[in-house]
Amino acid sequence: MLDLLHRLLARFHRKGKKIQHPKGYKWLLEIRPILEKKLLRLRAKKVAEKLRIPRRYLMKVPHITLIYNFELKRSVAPLSLIQTVARVAENYERVTFYYDGVALRKREQGPGHVLVFNIEPSLELRKLRKEVYEAIKPLIEESSRSQGLNNCSKFWFHATIALGRLPQESISRHRALGFSFFLPSEVWRITLLYRGKIVYEYDHILRRILTRKEALSEKTYAADLTVYCKTRGIEVDSQIPQSRQGLKRVWVTADLHLGHENIIKYTARPFLNSKEMDKILIHNWNTIIAPNDTVYIVGDLAFRRRDVKRYLRILNGKKILIRGNHDRNYACCDRLVMKYAGICFNITT
């Protein structure tokens, strides 16, 4: 029945007709984690296990609410609302924030508690949220409770892990244990949801509105990654200046994990798969590092030990590999003391 409702909604969206919305304030605007989604899931699962929180309380994916529950006015189509959001967001180049620890609070809406990843927003994120809210205000209806949250001068940014009447044991364990978690991020997509389902998204990387089908497409995600890598300096496109090619420079790097598929989700790397990751990292290395440079690799050059020799052969420079848990057969030592510019460095994994 719900799927039928969404198909009907999608049909009306395309035709731009008025939609009869059921009351209940079932619409939301959120920042949907894209690059860090799998990492957040893993972290949330670990936190829940340590706190012994039953699965029924957990969110499928931690999400960041921008505008709390509202209803569209009868004359407003969902496409019109996301177009309004897009017009505001297009004025911003990058909107950054970072995840900073885990917090537990009493719920502002409903009984029980909410367990979250704390979000430390940038000034741009605070301004964006405020401007989006002011822009869509004439298009929506809110309950007094939602209006109080949305209109708050000290809006609480957070990514929800679990909510509800959490067991007292979980609450006590949170107070006793405490959790550290830090992850820089930025806004990729602003999502319009109805009853928890994606209706439209504004993709801030591609700078366009996505339908539900496009939002869930791997093809769209691949396009996001391509643009992100080129515009955020992940993929280097400049060659070594001629004036520096004769210099012998010293570099230090670590944990490339070439060929490691799971490291992408464990650390939120902006790659579709390990093949794509290897291609970009090796290209960057050989673009920046000259053949006569020295590179200290502080562990874990590659995931498979049998591949280490192959990677060392195709990477520029004189490579000195300090032992990590993935490259024991080819490492020169467990630790190394290096003197540079009169300072001694103790290099170890």
Q: Are 123 and 92 in contact (CB under 8 A)?
A: no
Mark whether 255 and 207 lie in a shared domain.
no
Report the 10 Å Cβ neighbour count for 345.
12
Residue 236 maps to a domain: no
Cα 44 to Cα 41: distance, rounded to the nearest angstrom:
5
**Same domain for 140 and 28?**
yes
Q: Do 208 and 288 belong together in one domain?
A: no
The reported pTM is: 0.84
216 and 304 together in one domain? no
Residues 193 and 305 in one domain: no
For residues 326 and 269, membership in a common domain is answered with yes
Which of 141-150, 201-210, 327-336 is the least confident region? Answer: 327-336
Q: Taking the CB of residue 189, how many other CB atoms lie within 10 A of it?
A: 21
The answer on 124 and 195 residing in a single domain is yes
Give how many domains the chain has, as a whole number: 2
Tell whether 146 is covered by a domain: yes
Nearest to 119 by CA among 65, 43, 171, 162: 65
The pLDDT tens digits for 268-316 are: 999 999 999 999 999 999 999 988 899 999 888 888 877 888 999 999 9
Mean pLDDT, the chain, whole residue set = 87
- pLDDT above 70 for 19: no
Looking at the structure, tell me whether residues 295 and 339 fall in a common domain. yes
pLDDT in tens, 91-112: 999 999 999 999 999 887 678 8
pLDDT in tens, 138-189: 999 998 888 888 988 889 999 999 989 999 998 888 877 778 889 999 999 9
Q: Is residue 184 located within the same domain as residue 47?
A: yes
Q: CATH code at 341?
A: 3.60.21.10
Instruction: Output the pLDDT for position 157.
Output: 96
Same domain for 256 and 227: no
Q: Are residues 68 and 169 in the same domain?
A: yes
Residue 242 domain flag: no
Range of the domain at 124: 2-231
The pLDDT, as a whole number, for residue 32 is 95
For residue 22, is pLDDT > 60? no
